[in-house]
């Protein structure tokens, strides 16, 4: 009897030990799982932060590369002709909160900036009073040499959107032109948009491969604008289309009727003799 009770006690003890081991195993597993979860979460958050930081750096570097700077000095009392002979071009900058200031910029440098920025990209003027973010507003050209002679810079307010006309660049091949012998008609050469200064595009590309027949048109609403750019043109405004080439009809040249032209006889007409010249007059 005593042996049976002892055996039962040992069995109960073994069962309790197994239960404790099972609980301990589950606790260890839960702890490991929770630790792994925390490590994974922290890793993902860290990775996301790194990716966001890399994206931020990429945007900053891209913006720095896209910055167009131009040195400008306050214009002195020298005449414009003297400035141009010395390699400088007279200019002026102004804005809503910026008084008109006469400046001079390097002629060669301005030519490069104008080619790169046009009138729709931000130009940073390096002046004695600090940097001025501006747009090239107007350029006067020499009528003979076609070189810039004077420029206006518009200094805009930071944090405000700008309305500009961006040039259109047509690219691709139109099947209506290549296969059907049509003519490409560019209705608009610039597109009016609104955007923050940092989002202003230098140009907008138009793919003309969608012009497959003479009924096809590219409308303003069909243009894919960059992020942050708002279209100000009417959505149904036609940008480009193709027309069927028409043969020129040559007009038939009618030869003049020579018989209807009176030819003046050469020489003097014979004059009737006058009484003074000794001629005989008819007596009544």
Residue pLDDT, tens place only, 149-180:
999 999 998 889 999 999 999 999 999 999 99
Q: Say which residue the tokens 């096809």 belong to.
A: 216
CATH number, position 137:
2.40.240.10
Span 211-241, pLDDT tens digits: 999 999 999 999 999 999 999 999 999 999 9
In which band, very low, low, confident or very high, does the pLDDT at 3 lie, cut at 50, 70 and 90?
low
CB atoms within 10 A of CB 211: 24
Higher pLDDT pick, 249 / 28 = 249
Statement to judge: residues 106 and 117 lie in one domain: yes
Statement to judge: residues 181 and 226 lie in one domain: yes
Do the domain assignments include residue 57?
yes
Do the domain assignments include residue 277?
no
Q: For position 60, what pLDDT does the model report?
A: 44
- Rounded to two decimals, the pTM is 0.59
Q: 171: domain range? A: 162-243
Q: For position 260, what pLDDT does the model report?
A: 58
Bridge-partner residues for 104, per DSSP?
Answer: 73, 90
Q: Cβ(174)–Cβ(211) under 8 Å?
A: yes
Do the domain assignments include residue 249?
no
pLDDT over 60 at 42, yes or no = yes
Q: The sheet that has 238-243: what strands, in order across it?
A: 183-186, 238-243, 217-219
Tell me the average pLDDT across 1-23. Answer: 54
Do the domain assignments include residue 278?
no
Instruction: State the DSSP string of 234-257.
Output: -TT-EEEEEE---PPPPPPPPPP-
Do the domain assignments include residue 89?
yes
Span 195-205, pLDDT tens digits: 998 899 889 99
Total number of domains in the chain: 3
Statement to judge: residues 144 and 202 lie in one domain: no
Statement to judge: residues 150 and 166 lie in one domain: no
Q: For position 123, what pLDDT does the model report?
A: 93
How far lies 276's CA from each of 70, 265, 280, in Å? 97, 28, 10
Do the domain assignments include residue 14?
no
Statement to judge: residues 149 and 85 lie in one domain: yes
Span 109-146, pLDDT tens digits: 999 999 988 888 899 999 988 899 999 999 999 999 99
Statement to judge: residues 91 and 151 lie in one domain: yes
Average pLDDT of the chain is 79
């Amino acid at each position: 009897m005593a042996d049976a009770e002892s055996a039962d006690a040992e069995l109960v003890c073994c069962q309790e030990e197994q239960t404790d081991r099972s609980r301990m195993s589950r606790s260890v597993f839960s702890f490991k799982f929770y630790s792994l979860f925390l490590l994974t979460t922290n890793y993902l958050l860290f990775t996301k932060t790194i990716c966001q930081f890399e994206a931020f750096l990429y945007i900053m570097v891209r913006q720095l590369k896209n910055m167009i700077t131009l040195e400008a000095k306050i214009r002195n009392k020298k005449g414009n002709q003297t400035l141009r002979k010395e390699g400088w071009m007279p200019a002026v900058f102004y804005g809503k909160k910026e008084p008109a200031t006469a400046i001079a910029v390097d002629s060669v440098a301005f030519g490069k900036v104008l080619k790169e920025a046009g009138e729709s990209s931000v130009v940073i003027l390096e002046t004695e009073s600090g940097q001025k973010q501006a747009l090239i507003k107007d350029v006067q050209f020499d009528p003979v040499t076609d070189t810039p002679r004077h420029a206006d810079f518009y200094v805009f307010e930071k944090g405000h959107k700008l309305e500009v006309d961006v040039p259109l660049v047509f690219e691709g091949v139109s099947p209506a032109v290549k296969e059907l012998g049509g003519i490409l008609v560019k209705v608009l050469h610039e597109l009016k948009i609104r955007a923050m200064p940092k989002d202003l595009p230098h140009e907008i590309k138009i793919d003309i491969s969608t012009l497959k027949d003479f009924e096809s048109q590219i409308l303003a609403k069909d243009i894919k604008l960059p992020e942050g750019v708002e279209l100000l043109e009417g959505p149904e405004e036609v940008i480009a289309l193709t027309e069927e080439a028409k043969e020129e009809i040559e007009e038939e040249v009618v030869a003049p009727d020579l018989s209807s032209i009176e030819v003046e006889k050469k020489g003097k007409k014979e004059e009737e003799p006058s009484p003074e010249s000794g001629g005989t007059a008819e007596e009544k």
